[in-house]
Amino acid sequence: MSPIPPVKWLVNRRRFLQLSLFASTWGLSLACSDNQAQSLPQKVLVIGAGIAGLAAARELQGQGFQVTVLEGRDRIGGRIHTSRTLGFPVDLGASWIHGITDNPITTLAREGQIPILPTDFDNIILYNNQGNPISDRDFEVGYGVYEQIRDRAASLAEDSEQDLSIASALQQVLATQTLTPQQAQLIEWGLNSEFVTEFGADLESLSSWYVDEGKEFDGGDYLFPQGYDQIITGLANNLEIQLQQKVTEIRYSGSGVSVTTERETFSADAAIVTLPLGVLKSGSIKFSPELPANKQAAINRLNMGVLNKVILKFSKQFWPEDYQGLGYLHENGPDLSEFLNWQFYSQQPALIALMGGSFAREIEQLSEGEIRSRMLRVLRRSYGDRIPEPDSIIVTRWSQDPFAFGSYSHIAVGGDSGDRDILAEPIGDRLFFAGEATSRDYPATVHGAYLSGIREAKRLINH
């Protein structure tokens, strides 16, 4: 039995809008003249010690620039955050290398001799709403219906004269279908897994024209059994990074940049801003002068999704050991439906629940005790009331994190990939912008953030 595969939404006639940023990304620009070289900024501030900021700082430092990284948190990594409080590593933010072939994160892992393991998303056991495994036959029938509905909705959205939400396109198709209760639940589970959890956004928010924006690297998805922060540690080596420097204001002019934190003020010739989209949308940092109107409009149009995790550590494993994932159908509304079997990767008895969109935000409002009870209620449907209580629990609350206000960006209905280009545009030769939200080619990915940092460092060097 295999789960519903990733959906490729049909937006081919909109592809002509997606102009490549290849030259910008890889810095293929004309060499500076001698006079230009002499006027290059020598002192640069990088705002944010996530992977985009660290990539930019390393690139600039390697070219002889004096670089200081300002980070508001008491740690580096940003939305890459490995916790070891359970006695073993588990990633609370980014987890995977998406597409291992020619991916720059793969290169960093190999150079650092960091172990990675493949994830087979087909290796999952799916349970019905009574807690019993779904038969291969029932799954095959349900998947055939799902595939038909998916393709019809994608075609309908493609032919529409205006952008539709994925929910709207699907509703028009579903209105013509007669489904069994289990088929309806399986379709809902598949949509949740492939869209809501994947993008951290509800179907009502996601643009059907741009849901598959960008490019992908070939190869499978790999995770870090000993923690993604190993990549971050390697990048940060020998960089000047100042922690707990929460930025409150960024002033810029033709003569330089001044960055004020809650503790002090820093001056430099230029700055690379790698703040998450959620922080830019929050207005918690003042720009002086204000950002250009088109850039602020792009920030307003782009949306920040939320993917949260709940990690439960048990004294022993009681779930099937051979599956990498567990899936659950539900009868009444959204619930915990997707679990990663961490025992499979680390030999540690832990389950990681994944949830996205408004349901992820709702979970954030519950106490750890309430979340624990909710998870156990789902698990006991399949494994009985005698399963042990968990030893420990970790709950992520990314939408409440003041240094992120979400997990990663997506394009909402009515938006456009061009907004990412606008967000990436520098202001003069003093203020530059990086981060996954600025990547048209690889948005919402670690490698997209990393490449954006390299892109802006090269842009600054060649400006």
pLDDT digit string, tens, across residues 283-316? 999 999 999 999 999 999 999 999 999 999 999 9
DSSP classification of residue 180: -
Give yes or no for residue 38 having a pLDDT over 50: no
What value does the CA radius of gyration of the chain take, rounded to a whole number of Å?
A: 23
CB-CB contact of 308 with 324 (8 Å): no
Q: What is the pLDDT of residue 16?
A: 30
Which of 19-23, 261-265, 327-331 is the least confident region?
19-23
**If you search the block for the tokens 């892109």, which residue do you land on?**
455
Give yes or no for residue 244 having a pLDDT over 50: yes
CA distances for 25 relative to 29, 234, 280, 442, angstroms: 10, 22, 22, 11
Name the pTM for this structure.
0.91
**pLDDT interval class at 2 (50, 70, 90):** very low
Two tokens, residue 184: 């309806």
| High-pLDDT (> 90) share of the chain, % | 85
Q: Angle, nearest 10°, between helix axes 229-236 and 104-111?
A: 80
What whole-number distance in Å separates Cα of residue 442 and Cα of residue 75? 25
Give yes or no for residue 25 having a pLDDT over 60: no
Mean pLDDT of 124-147: 90
Q: What is the pLDDT of residue 144?
A: 83
Chain mean pLDDT for the chain: 91
Mean pLDDT of 359-363: 98
What is the CB-side half-sphere exposure of residue 149 using CA atoms within 13 A? 28
CB-CB contact of 276 with 406 (8 Å): yes
Q: What is the pLDDT of residue 290?
A: 98
From the list 353, 275, 448, the residue with the least C-alpha distance to 90 is 353
Neighbours of 179 (CB within 10 A): 15
Q: What is the pLDDT of residue 39?
A: 54
Sign of CA dihedral 443, 212, 160, 206: negative
From the list 37, 54, 32, 40, the residue with the least C-alpha distance to 452 is 54
**pLDDT interval class at 439 (50, 70, 90):** very high
Two tokens, residue 433: 């912008």
pLDDT digit string, tens, across residues 367-404? 999 999 999 999 999 999 999 999 999 999 999 999 99
Two tokens, residue 50: 């996530």
Mean pLDDT of 221-248: 98
In 35-192, beta strands by DSSP E: 43-47, 66-70, 82-83, 90-91, 96-98, 117-119, 124-127
Name the residue with higher pLDDT: 140 or 446: 446
Mean pLDDT of 65-74: 98
Mean pLDDT of 49-60: 98
Pairing of strands 325-328, 338-341: antiparallel
Give yes or no for residue 56 having a pLDDT over 70: yes
pLDDT digit string, tens, across residues 165-191? 999 999 999 999 899 999 999 999 999
From the list 449, 185, 426, the residue with the least C-alpha distance to 328 is 185
What whole-number distance in Å separates Cα of residue 399 and Cα of residue 278? 8
Q: What is the pLDDT of residue 139?
A: 83
Give every CB contact of residue 367 below 8 A, 6+ residues apart in sequence: none
Give yes or no for residue 268 having a pLDDT over 90: yes
Which H/E stretch holds residue 432? strand 431-433
DSSP classification of residue 48: -
Q: What is the pLDDT of residue 141?
A: 86
What whole-number distance in Å separates Cα of residue 432 and Cα of residue 207? 28
From the list 269, 380, 227, 360, the residue with the least C-alpha distance to 306 is 360
**pLDDT interval class at 33 (50, 70, 90):** very low
CB-CB contact of 312 with 52 (8 Å): no
What whole-number distance in Å separates Cα of residue 260 and Cα of residue 439? 27
Q: DSSP characters for 357-407? A: HHHHHHHHTS-HHHHHHHHHHHHHHHH-TTSPPPSEEEE--GGG-TTTSSS
Which of 13-22, 131-140, 423-432 is the least confident region?
13-22
From the list 425, 419, 430, 428, the residue with the least C-alpha distance to 455 is 425
Give yes or no for residue 330 having a pLDDT over 60: yes
- For the chain, the distance separating the N- and C-terminal CA atoms, rounded to the nearest angstrom, is 54
What whole-number distance in Å separates Cα of residue 312 and Cα of residue 413? 35
Give yes or no for residue 319 having a pLDDT over 80: yes
What whole-number distance in Å separates Cα of residue 84 and Cα of residue 90? 7
